[in-house]
Chain A
């Protein structure tokens, strides 16, 4: 208990240091402003109506904080009660939601957030996903699809959150469409790392066939991944299927473009982060009238470029 209190006192000292750095007046202003904004948002959006959205936002934040925080190893090392340390902190963070749940008589959301806090506090304290064979081997991804194997290990939690959010909030009309767009954007980021030449050569020596194989694999996996969202949307909004089909088509196009662009600028064993920006640009183009044809022109241009670039690495040189 003494150790637990000591760790929490460390947190307050850390917080105090941050506030001192900001400056006392500014800190008070920031804290007051944040608190006011939080309650204003809850009031404005009518907690009872948007309870799902707000609770999901909080739950996602808690999961994200736990997975990103760098002090897990330290807390585990110094305390045998690491689980309780994390749980207490997440309960404190979720206080506004618990408070609103009581206020608006919505015990379900409070219970849900409590379960999420409990479950996430167990991760890397008593449970490690990396030790579970299923997560270790990712058997649902074909072994030839290294981008997905690697990407899934890095971004699985965010994809799971988007899927869960899209399904849970599907009664708010655009939620499933927004979820598939975000998932597509995450999946496109799998294609920022360039494999070594020797790995690429295993896909064959015909440049267009290599590109086609890669695109087919990725699109197939994306459709499987978002299929729960497609089914739920079609079930809830059968009259808006055409709009949803357009959103899916845009996502497939963006994914295909990200693969083409990767190989248009491919250099073995490098990481090209700018691919993410280009993918974002392509997605945005589809939302702006008159600019939509631009990604199609870009796709045609970069397909030729990708083929020419891959020839350097796959074809006879001399």
Chain B
């Protein structure tokens, strides 16, 4: 069980995450929805330990969580320059000798012998995803994993995430595409202004968009194009 208790994160004087509580069980795929600037990426970074929390606790099975427990796919992928996809993936074989690069590449179909700088954005995303799949950690964080992926890879990623959940991994995923969350997650939390406004399970997914956009009235949609 991943337990987040009373988590707060600030950048200077600005509180980005405010007293956030969340619980995710093993085998559960938990979606985080929210508008731009709601604090989704900061929440992921706080769990991963890339940003310092101001207060609160993040526990995995009642013990402090560490980087060795977490696999994190960031929104933006960074790679080492002048190395091929294959060389990048082989780094992951140092830790997981059983990581079968050709078998995974049959699924993702990447030109692994080419330099990564020649890859498209979607290809880089696939490569990053392939790398983290070699890691057998109990917690997986996916920050906007569907950005830049084609339709076919979208389906593959969904299948992989379902498989990870089936293997009792704790999955936390953010996306601004609501359909990708509702079609995949067991629960979705709506993050607004650094606070979880509500969490709903599959029974409430139909209503989720209405709940999120209830404040967005018709006047706000009156677009100021010049006439």
Option from B64, B81, B87, B115 in Cβ contact (under 8 Å) with A143: B87
- Chain B interface main SS type: mixed
Besides A136-B113, A316-B68, 11 other A-B contacts (C-beta < 8 A) = A136-B84, A143-B87, A143-B90, A144-B90, A146-B80, A153-B82, A198-B72, A199-B91, A201-B95, A202-B92, A205-B67
Question: Which residues of B approach A to under 8 Å, CB–CB?
Answer: 48-50, 53, 57-59, 64-68, 72, 78-84, 87-88, 90-95, 113, 115, 131-132
Residue in chain B with minimal CB distance to A130: B115
Question: Which residues of A approach B to under 8 Å, CB–CB?
Answer: 136-137, 143-144, 146, 149-151, 153-154, 193, 195-199, 201-205, 268-269, 312-318
Option from B53, B87, B131 in Cβ contact (under 8 Å) with A149: B87
Determine the distance from Cα of A59 to Cα of B35 in the docked complex, in whole angstroms: 61
Q: How many A-B residue pairs have CB under 8 A?
A: 77
Could you write out 22 A-B pairs with CB less than 8 Å apart?
A137-B113, A146-B88, A149-B87, A150-B82, A151-B82, A153-B82, A193-B81, A196-B78, A196-B80, A199-B88, A201-B68, A204-B95, A205-B68, A269-B78, A312-B49, A316-B65, A317-B49, A317-B65, A317-B66, A317-B67, A318-B57, A318-B66
CB distance from B31 to the nearest CB of A (A): 23
- Return the 4 tightest CB-CB contacts between A and B, nearest first: A317-B49, A316-B66, A269-B78, A143-B90
Chain A residues with CB below 8 A from B65, complex form = 316-318
Chain B residues with CB below 8 A from A136, complex form = 84, 113
Chain B residues with CB below 8 A from A193, complex form = 80-81
Chain A residues with CB below 8 A from B90, complex form = 143-144
- Chain A interface main SS type: helix
Chain A residues with CB below 8 A from B58, complex form = 318
Chain A residues with CB below 8 A from B49, complex form = 312, 316-318
CB distance from A136 to the nearest CB of B (A): 7
Chain A residues with CB below 8 A from B79, complex form = 196
Option from A146, A154, A316 in Cβ contact (under 8 Å) with B67: A316
Chain A residues with CB below 8 A from B88, complex form = 146, 199
Determine whether the beta carbon of A202 is less than 8 Å from that of B82: no
Chain B residues with CB below 8 A from A203, complex form = 94
Determine the distance from Cα of A269 to Cα of B68 in the docked complex, in whole angstroms: 19
Determine whether the beta carbon of B80 is less than 8 Å from that of A195: yes
Determine the distance from Cα of A150 to Cα of B93 in the docked complex, in whole angstroms: 18
CB distance from B96 to the nearest CB of A (A): 9
Determine whether the beta carbon of B87 is less than 8 Å from that of A146: yes
Determine whether the beta carbon of B64 is less than 8 Å from that of A144: no
Determine whether the beta carbon of A150 is less than 8 Å from that of B68: no
Determine whether the beta carbon of A316 is less than 8 Å from that of B80: no
Q: Which of A312, A314, A317 counts the most B-chain CB atoms under 10 A from its CB?
A: A317
CB distance from B92 to the nearest CB of A (A): 6
Chain B residues with CB below 8 A from A196, complex form = 78-80
Chain B residues with CB below 8 A from A144, complex form = 90-91, 94
